[in-house]
Structure 1
Amino acid sequence: MRFMMIVKASSESETGAIPSEQDLNEMGKYNEELVKAGVLLDANGLLESARGARVQFTGKNQTTVVDGPFTETKELVAGYWIIDVKSKDEAIEWARRIPFQEGEVEVRKVAEAEDFGESYTPEIKEAEDKLREQLAERQQS
Structure 2
Amino acid sequence: MRYMIIVKATADSEAGVMPPDSLLAEMAAFHERLARAGVLLDASGLKPSANGWRVRYDGGKRSVIDGPFTESKELIAGYTLIQAASREEAMEWTQRFPNPAIDGGQSEIEVRPLFELDDFAPSDAIGRFRKLEQAR
TM-score by length of 1: 0.86
Q: 1:44 is paired with a residue of what secondary structure?
A: strand
Aligned length: 131
Measure the CA separation in 2 of the matches of 1:24 and 1:95.
Answer: 17
Which residue of structure 2 aligns with residue 124 of structure 1? 125
Question: Is the CA contact (8 Å cut-off) linking 2:3 and 2:84 kept in structure 1?
Answer: yes
Question: Is the CA contact (8 Å cut-off) linking 2:117 and 2:130 kept in structure 1?
Answer: no
Structure 1: 5+ residue stretches without partners = 137-141
Which residue of structure 1 aligns with residue 62 of structure 2? 63
Give structure 1 regions of 4+ aligned residues with deviation exceeding 2 angstroms.
Answer: 123-126
Identity %: 47
Structure 2: 5+ residue stretches without partners = none
Which residue of structure 1 aligns with residue 71 of structure 2? 72
Q: Letter of the 1:124 partner, please give it.
A: A
Q: 1:129 is paired with a residue of what secondary structure?
A: helix
Which residue of structure 2 aligns with residue 104 of structure 1? 108
Q: 2:79 is paired with a residue of what secondary structure?
A: strand
Cα deviation code 1:59-86 (max 9, x no counterpart): 12x1111111111111100111111002
Measure the CA separation in 1 of the matches of 2:62 and 2:126.
Answer: 29
When the two chains are superposed, the root-mean-square deviation of aligned CA atoms in Å is 1.4
Deviation, 1:130, is 2.6
The structure with the greater share of residues assigned to helix is 1
Query: How do 1:1-141 residues align onto structure 2 when only pairs under 5 Å count?
Result: 1-60=1-60, 62-100=61-99, 101=104, 102-116=106-120, 118=121, 120-121=122-123, 123-134=124-135, 136=136
TM-score by length of 2: 0.89
Measure the CA separation in 2 of the matches of 1:86 and 1:41.
Answer: 13
Q: Letter of the 1:106 partner, please give it.
A: E
Q: 1:12 is paired with a residue of what secondary structure?
A: helix
Measure the CA separation in 1 of the matches of 2:5 and 2:133.
Answer: 22
